[in-house]
């Protein structure tokens, strides 16, 4: 009895959320939801695509966890996540995933007098800050890396994501790779943070860091640029100091073997190479293999195909790195597996 | 003679009824109103059932201990409602500590001291505070109050109250601005118009003769407020406070902006925390995994029960006080 009630209730909840999405999207538009990490570049692509084709994109920048949830509930045409799903999870849900674009997660600080790129941190120090073991800006471990930078004798206000986030997943993945102490916290889209305050979305973290003196946070690089936040350089696996840039993201991506993991689920954190930015991440699109609405799926694939072909320059303007040519052709070939219910490819 | 008149009247009533279809109108009207009432009750019941059923996977695993366990770890899927529950109660209590004396002063000023000409405009201005959307309070809190708190208010509190024994424990840690205290302050401002409105109503219900005799006996304004007005409408005031408390417990957006959204228990009011509604707003759309989602629904259930009882008590007290004034 209660069980059937629950199904009704859940169905009702989904129906309501579907309704919300449906009313937000206009006829003929593509709807998607998920990661906030690539939202700036998706928004830019959508704008240009609308001008060219008249088809708009309604993208809800709600976080990777939300994107996975919404595509599983079939309330959107595609989901977006920075946390690649495991092959088993993809198969169970009947989803397929492909990488869309790569970007950098950067540490941002709010310290009066410190300019972007003036500070540098190692992954280990960053992890210790987020574990709550380093609590002051003038801690010897930080000052040793930053000779000549005036660091205050004040507490570090640690800012993290309060929502389920692929950015968090990639960030935690990196911290776990460089600091053995991180294993007690774990790696996931949402984790139990030992210290700090939470902001919702990359936007929320940017706002909190911008507002709170003495704070440190992690955001996608485009958010640091748009909000004029002070980013910090990183010392990478090869012990070299690198700044977030197209070049350093490309360097990190250069070694990646995309074909090695089903669903292209490659994680680009802590890659070797003198120029590699250590917190590089790819972001993924999730669509159903068997489509109930083949027309919508066709529009989605057309849009992303267009973005692969023509979106590179726009992505680079926002310091995102387009996928390499060979990956694009692999992905496009795999799109033939996306079919309608009668087994005919949608494209 | 008499008979014909009755028949006439009956006939005319009959014809009028027929003309307006009153014969069917009344039962239809009655059943429509009944249907509305039943519908609302069904919705209320449905909410409870859905919440309980949605929370069941978590409640089955954690048991009643869900309510008093701390820890909110999506990686190991271990959840407890204690931290958001404490955060909800603490911020609401701060809101009451700030909001109630303020509202009392305002209501007393408006009913006793303020020149008659100004009463209505000031009362309307205060009520307009209730019309400000909560997200505006949140933005204002984050962009205006939080820096002020970080640079001035919190360092001052830490250096003064922080060194007082016992009380000092509430004012420890680095000044961040964002935290439970700021959230409580914003909540206090938000409930102010509601409590003031109720208090004003109940103060006005005090018979003038009581007040006048007190003044006639030489009582000061403070004595009239404290010894005559307040005891007379004590239950009404408490009821108003409870209504404000009910609102503070469930407020979401403004709190989410300024509380820091951290699942950690801290003695210090300056530390970031979270409330049930803030946790739901932050995490519900993102939660993947059945236990995680169920635990969030469980939080909703805890809040529902908490708010239900607070409002029920408030309504009861209000009801009793209005009965008192009528009798």
Lowest mean pLDDT among A161-170, A310-319, B16-25: B16-25
Residues from chain B that touch A203, judged by Cβ atoms under 8 A, are none
The proportion of chain A whose per-residue pLDDT surpasses 70, expressed as a percent, equals 92
Q: Measure CA of the first residue to CA of the last residue in chain B; give whole Å.
A: 48
- pLDDT tier at B311 (50, 70, 90 boundaries)? confident
Report the phi/psi class of residue B54: left, alpha or beta, with left for phi > 0 and alpha for psi in -120 to 50.
alpha
Strands (E), chain B: 72-73, 78-79
Looking up tokens 């680079």, which residue turns up?
A316
Lowest mean pLDDT among B80-94, B186-200, B286-300: B286-300
Q: Kindly determine whether residue A10 and residue B54, on different chains, have CB atoms separated by under 8 Å.
A: yes
- B174 shares contact with chain A (CB less than 8 Å): yes
- The reported pLDDT for the residue numbered A325 is 86
Average pLDDT, stretch B24-48?
92
Question: Closest to B174 (Cβ–Cβ): which among A63, A157, A191?
Answer: A157
Question: Closest to B286 (Cβ–Cβ): which among A66, A197, A214?
Answer: A66
Closest CA to A286 of A18, A19, A103, A32: A32
Which one of B50, B139, B252, B261 would you mutate to disrupt binding with A, by most A Cβ within 10 Å of its Cβ?
B261
- Quickly list H helices, A59-106: 64-72, 87-93
Sequence-distant (≥ 6) Cβ neighbours of residue B43 within 8 angstroms: none
Q: Assign B91 to helix, strand or coil.
A: helix
Res. A161: pLDDT tops 90: yes
Q: Assign A197 to helix, strand or coil.
A: strand
Tokens of B162: 């922080």
- The reported pLDDT for the residue numbered A306 is 95
Bridge-based pairing of strands A233-235 and A241-242 is antiparallel
Average pLDDT, stretch B79-86?
94
Res. B15: pLDDT tops 70: no
The proportion of chain B whose per-residue pLDDT surpasses 90, expressed as a percent, equals 57
Lowest mean pLDDT among A246-250, A343-347, B46-50, B251-255: A343-347
Res. A273: pLDDT tops 60: yes
- The reported pLDDT for the residue numbered B234 is 84
How far apart (Å, rounded) are the C-alpha atoms in residues B327 and B323?
A: 6
Q: At what angle do helices B290-326 and B22-62 cross, to 10 degrees?
A: 130
CB B199 within 8 A of CB B104: yes
How far apart (Å, rounded) are the C-alpha atoms in residues A229 and A273?
A: 27
The proportion of chain B whose per-residue pLDDT surpasses 70, expressed as a percent, equals 91
CB A285 within 8 A of CB A38: no
Looking up tokens 């800012």, which residue turns up?
A159
Res. A121: pLDDT tops 90: yes
Question: Closest to A197 (Cβ–Cβ): which among B74, B76, B272?
Answer: B272
Average pLDDT, stretch B244-272?
91
- The reported pLDDT for the residue numbered A175 is 96
- B178 shares contact with chain A (CB less than 8 Å): yes
- The reported pLDDT for the residue numbered B22 is 59
ipTM of the complex as predicted: 0.78
Average pLDDT, stretch A98-111?
94
Tokens of A68: 């996975």
Tokens of A283: 């972001």
Average pLDDT, stretch A56-60?
92
Which one of A65, A73, A132, A155 would you mutate to disrupt binding with B, by most B Cβ within 10 Å of its Cβ?
A65
Per-chain mean pLDDT for chain A? 88
- pLDDT tier at A76 (50, 70, 90 boundaries)? very high
How far apart (Å, rounded) are the C-alpha atoms in residues A298 and A1?
A: 41
Q: Kindly determine whether residue B177 and residue A211, on different chains, have CB atoms separated by under 8 Å.
A: yes
- Quickly list H helices, B22-81: 22-62
Q: Kindly determine whether residue B286 and residue A65, on different chains, have CB atoms separated by under 8 Å.
A: yes
- B289 shares contact with chain A (CB less than 8 Å): no
Instruction: Indicate the helix (H) or strand (E) that contains B183.
Output: helix B180-204
- pLDDT tier at B14 (50, 70, 90 boundaries)? low
Restricting to B residues 126-155, those with a Cβ less than 8 Å away from any Cβ of A are 142-143, 146-147, 150-151
- The reported pLDDT for the residue numbered A10 is 44
- pLDDT tier at B238 (50, 70, 90 boundaries)? confident
Res. B300: pLDDT tops 50: yes
CB B202 within 8 A of CB B270: no
Res. B6: pLDDT tops 70: no
CB B268 within 8 A of CB B170: yes
- pLDDT tier at B188 (50, 70, 90 boundaries)? very high
Taking CA atoms, A303 is separated from A29, A40, A80, A189, A264, in Å, by 11, 16, 14, 27, 20
Q: Kindly determine whether residue A191 and residue B146, on different chains, have CB atoms separated by under 8 Å.
A: no
- pLDDT tier at A25 (50, 70, 90 boundaries)? very low
- pLDDT tier at B138 (50, 70, 90 boundaries)? very high
Res. B119: pLDDT tops 50: yes
- The reported pLDDT for the residue numbered B184 is 96
DSSP assignment letter at B65? G
Lowest mean pLDDT among A4-13, A260-269, A270-279, B278-287: A4-13
Sequence-distant (≥ 6) Cβ neighbours of residue B284 within 8 angstroms: B293, B296
CB A176 within 8 A of CB A213: no
Residues from chain A that touch B141, judged by Cβ atoms under 8 A, are none
- The reported pLDDT for the residue numbered B322 is 62
Decide: residue A40, CB within 10 A, 0-12 exposed, 13-18 middle, 19+ buried. Answer: buried
Tokens of B18: 């027929």
The nearest alpha carbon in chain B to A12 belongs to B50
- The reported pLDDT for the residue numbered A23 is 42
Summarised one tens digit per residue, pLDDT across range A37-53 is 899 999 999 999 999 99
Average pLDDT, stretch A235-245?
94
Q: Kindly determine whether residue B75 and residue A188, on different chains, have CB atoms separated by under 8 Å.
A: yes
Tokens of B318: 């209000």
Average pLDDT, stretch B302-323?
82
Question: Closest to A164 (Cβ–Cβ): which among B53, B147, B288?
Answer: B288
Which one of B152, B288, B291 would you mutate to disrupt binding with A, by most A Cβ within 10 Å of its Cβ?
B288
């Amino acid at each position: 009895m209660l069980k059937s009630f629950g199904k009704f209730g859940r169905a009702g909840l989904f129906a309501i959320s579907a309704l919300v999405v449906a009313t937000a999207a206009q006829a003929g538009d593509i709807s998607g939801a998920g990661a906030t990490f690539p939202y700036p570049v998706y928004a830019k692509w959508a704008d240009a695509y609308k001008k060219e084709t008249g088809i708009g994109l309604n993208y809800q920048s709600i976080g990777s966890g939300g994107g996975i949830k919404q595509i599983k509930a079939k309330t959107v045409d595609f989901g977006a996540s920075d946390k690649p799903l495991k092959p088993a999870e993809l198969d169970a849900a009947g989803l397929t995933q492909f990488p869309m674009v790569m970007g950098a997660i950067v540490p941002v600080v709010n310290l009066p007098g410190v300019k972007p790129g003036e500070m540098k941190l190692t992954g280990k120090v960053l992890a210790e800050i987020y574990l709550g073991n380093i609590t002051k800006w003038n801690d010897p471990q930080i000052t040793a890396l930053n000779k000549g930078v005036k660091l205050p004798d004040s507490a570090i206000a640690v800012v993290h994501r309060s929502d389920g986030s692929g950015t968090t997943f990639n960030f935690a993945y990196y911290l776990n790779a460089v600091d053995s102490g991180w294993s007690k916290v774990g790696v996931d889209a949402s984790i139990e943070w030992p210290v700090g305050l939470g902001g919702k979305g990359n936007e929320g973290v940017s706002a909190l860091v911008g507002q709170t003196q003495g704070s440190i946070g992690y955001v996608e690089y485009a958010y640091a640029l748009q909000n004029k936040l002070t980013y910090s350089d990183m010392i990478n696996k090869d012990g070299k100091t690198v700044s977030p840039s197209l070049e350093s993201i490309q360097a990190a991506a250069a070694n990646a073997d995309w074909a090695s993991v089903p669903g292209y689920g490659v994680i680009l954190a802590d890659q070797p190479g003198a120029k590699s930015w250590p917190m590089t991440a790819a972001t993924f699109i999730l669509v159903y293999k068997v489509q109930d609405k083949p027309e919508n799926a066709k529009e989605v694939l057309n849009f992303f195909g267009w973005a692969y072909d023509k979106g590179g320059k726009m992505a680079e303007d926002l310091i995102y790195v387009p996928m390499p040519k060979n990956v694009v052709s692999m992905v496009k070939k795999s799109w033939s597996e996306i079919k309608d219910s009668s087994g005919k490819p949608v494209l | 003679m008499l008979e014909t008149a009755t028949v006439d009247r009956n006939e005319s009533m009959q014809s009028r009824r027929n003309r307006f279809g009153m014969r069917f109108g009344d039962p239809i009207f009655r059943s429509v109103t009944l249907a509305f009432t039943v519908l609302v009750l069904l919705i209320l019941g449905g909410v409870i059932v859905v919440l309980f059923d949605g929370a069941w996977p978590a409640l089955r695993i954690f048991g009643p201990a869900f309510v008093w366990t701390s820890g909110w770890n999506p990686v190991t899927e271990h959840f407890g409602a204690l931290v958001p529950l404490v955060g909800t109660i603490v911020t609401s209590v701060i809101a009451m500590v700030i909001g109630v004396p303020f509202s009392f002063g305002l209501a007393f000023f408006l009913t006793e001291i303020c020149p008659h000409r100004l009463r209505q405009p000031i009362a309307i201005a205060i009520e307009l505070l209730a019309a400000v959307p909560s997200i505006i309070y949140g933005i204002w809190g984050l962009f205006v109050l939080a820096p002020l708190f970080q640079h001035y208010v919190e360092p001052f509190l830490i250096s003064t109250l922080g060194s007082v024994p016992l009380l000092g424990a509430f004012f420890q840690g680095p000044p961040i601005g964002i935290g439970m205290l700021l959230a409580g302050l914003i909540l206090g401002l938000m409930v102010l118009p509601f409590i003031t409105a109720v208090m004003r109503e109940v103060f006005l219900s005090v018979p003038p003769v009581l007040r006048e005799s007190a003044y006639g006996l030489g009582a000061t304004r403070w004595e009239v407020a404290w010894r005559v007005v307040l005891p007379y409408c004590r239950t009404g005031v408490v009821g108003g406070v409870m209504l404000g408390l009910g609102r503070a417990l469930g407020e979401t957006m403004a709190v989410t902006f300024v509380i820091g959204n951290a699942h950690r228990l801290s003695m210090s009011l300056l530390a970031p925390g979270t409330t049930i509604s803030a946790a739901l707003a932050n995490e519900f759309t993102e939660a993947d995994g059945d236990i995680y989602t169920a635990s969030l629904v469980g939080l909703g259930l805890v809040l529902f029960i908490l708010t239900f009882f607070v409002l029920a008590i408030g309504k009861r007290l209000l009801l009793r006080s209005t009965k008192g004034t009528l009798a």
